[in-house]
Amino acid sequence: MDNNDKNNVKWFRNAAPYINAHRGKTVVLMFGGEAVLHENFANIIHDISLLRSLGVKLVLVHGSRPQIEERMKRQSVTSQLENNVRITDAETLSAVKDATGSLRIHIEALLTMGLVNSPMHGSQIRVSTGNFVIAKPIGVKDGVDYKHTGSVRRIDTVGINTQLDYGSIVLLSPIGYSSTGEVFNLSLEDVATQTAISLKADKLITFTEQDGLLDKQGQLVRSCDVSTVKKMLLENSDHARQLLMRAIIHSGESGVERCHCISYQNDSALLQELFTRDGAGTLIAKDYKEQLSTASIDDVGGILELLAPLEAEGILVKRSRELLEVEIERFTVIKKEDVIIACAALYPYPESNTGEVACVAIHPDYRKGNRGVRLIAALECVAKKQKFASIFVLTTVSGHWFQEQGFIEETMENLPDGKKQLYNFQRKSKVFIKKI
């Protein structure tokens, strides 16, 4: 295996917890008409099909501003803007329908034939479009009639979810229909935001020409919360950026846990953002605190990933997937962004009034952050609830760390009988006990 192969294998292993975390999640992708025009769009389409094949439920919302401008110019229709909003008269609406319809067909075609000669050759994507967006007119504001310019009234979430459950990708355009049968010109941001909120999407991913959201110095902000985006909005006078930031703020404040902002020009941005720890653009999380909880069956894959290197080094005893599945409720995990970064387990010995602390593992990138201490405290709580008098641990290399947590070195004679019989003399683990 050459170095390149080794790097690929490493990348794949590192991506595995994220693949687990994203499966079955609903993700809304928002991209403007300029992204579709860019040469990298074909690569984005390949990555979208890859995400679909990994079980991510996808709703694509496309814009068509440059295409509408171009169509209006060709048809000599003059653009009327009021407060940066296009007033859609009958002629403009005709250009909007032409441009948006053509673009939608273009994207559908790419999603269908984009797979030939691509890394996803052979897979079939079903695209679903339709009257999923119900619109209402903006009406007359400050004496200005916005005519066929509208806003989202309702998203047909049942219709969209049915398509997603069938495995289709849903494609939405910035056009909506009213209950009176009229057609309305909508903004991309309004459709994407309302769709993400109504579907209770797990993520809204926005594509932009820059690498993500930039600070005042023009540096990429890797992660922040919604209140930071609000501050950025006040400092930014670019209309397109303001629309993007407002969409992120509104989504974040209305329950969409994570919004991402990535570049449509960067070939690897989408995959990097979703499958690597550092991502490629900006992650805006409502709350990106870590969570400590009892593990469930869905966590087995993540725990195996975390333990594998430590088992390979001989620091932990190897556990099979089957065993882990049976014992999963004994594990406590710490998750960040739905990915397991730390775990520990408590194996009860009720007949001896004690419990064994095992499998304490913190991902190397997250060590020295008190997570080990938090996990031991959580296990102590579990042990106290079961009225145990102590907890114990067998370790080959981390004795000092456990001593710092209040454990005292003892001989194996002090182990519960059930454990003594299983003691592995070859490992020569040391025994530490903590009274609780």
Ligand X SMILES: CC(C)(COP(=O)(O)OP(=O)(O)OC[C@H]1O[C@@H](n2cnc3c(N)ncnc32)[C@H](O)[C@@H]1OP(=O)(O)O)[C@@H](O)C(=O)NCCC(=O)NCCS
Closest distance of CB 313 from ligand X, Å: 9
Give whichever of 177 and 401 is closer to ligand X, judged by the CB atom: 401
Q: Which of 277, 348, 332 shows the shortest CA–CA distance to 299?
A: 332
Closest distance of CB 369 from ligand X, Å: 5
Q: Are the C-beta atoms of 308 and 343 separated by less than 8 Å?
A: no
Closest distance of CB 204 from ligand X, Å: 33
Helix (H, G, I), strand (E, B) or coil at 204: strand
Closest distance of CB 427 from ligand X, Å: 11
Q: In which region does residue 237 sit, left (phi positive, over 0), alpha (psi from -120 to 50) or beta (all else)?
A: alpha
SS (H, E, C) 215-253: CCCCCECCEECHHHHHHHHHHCCCHHHHHHHHHHHHHHH
Closest distance of CB 392 from ligand X, Å: 11
Give whichever of 245 and 393 is closer to ligand X, judged by the CB atom: 393
Closest distance of CB 298 from ligand X, Å: 22
Q: Are the C-beta atoms of 271 and 235 separated by less than 8 Å?
A: no
Closest distance of CB 344 from ligand X, Å: 8
Binding site for ligand X (CB under 6 A): 310, 315, 358, 360-362, 367-373, 393, 395, 397-398, 400-401
How far apart, in whole angstroms, are the C-alpha atoms of residue 34 and residue 430? Answer: 63
- CB-nearest residue to ligand X: 372
C-alpha separations of 44 from 60, 92, 269, 277, 279 in Å: 12, 30, 9, 20, 16
Q: In which region does residue 78 sit, left (phi positive, over 0), alpha (psi from -120 to 50) or beta (all else)?
A: beta
Q: Are the C-beta atoms of 169 and 58 separated by less than 8 Å?
A: yes
Residue-wise DSSP of 281-340: SEEEES----EEEE--GGGHHHHHHHHHHHHHTTSS----HHHHHHHGGGEEEEEETTEE
Give whichever of 117 and 424 is closer to ligand X, judged by the CB atom: 424
Give whichever of 281 and 302 is closer to ligand X, judged by the CB atom: 302
Q: Are the C-beta atoms of 226 and 252 separated by less than 8 Å?
A: yes
Closest distance of CB 38 from ligand X, Å: 43
Give whichever of 249 and 362 is closer to ligand X, judged by the CB atom: 362
How far apart, in whole angstroms, are the C-alpha atoms of residue 129 and residue 149? Answer: 21
Give whichever of 252 and 416 is closer to ligand X, judged by the CB atom: 416
Give whichever of 373 and 389 is closer to ligand X, judged by the CB atom: 373
Give whichever of 220 and 308 is closer to ligand X, judged by the CB atom: 308
Give whichever of 55 and 314 is closer to ligand X, judged by the CB atom: 314
Q: Are the C-beta atoms of 28 and 203 separated by less than 8 Å?
A: yes
Closest distance of CB 334 from ligand X, Å: 9
User: Torsions phi, psi of 59, nearest 5?
Assistant: -120, 120
Give whichever of 148 and 335 is closer to ligand X, judged by the CB atom: 335
Q: Are the C-beta atoms of 249 and 229 separated by less than 8 Å?
A: yes
Closest distance of CB 275 from ligand X, Å: 23
Residues 6+ apart with CB under 8 A from 363: 306, 341, 342
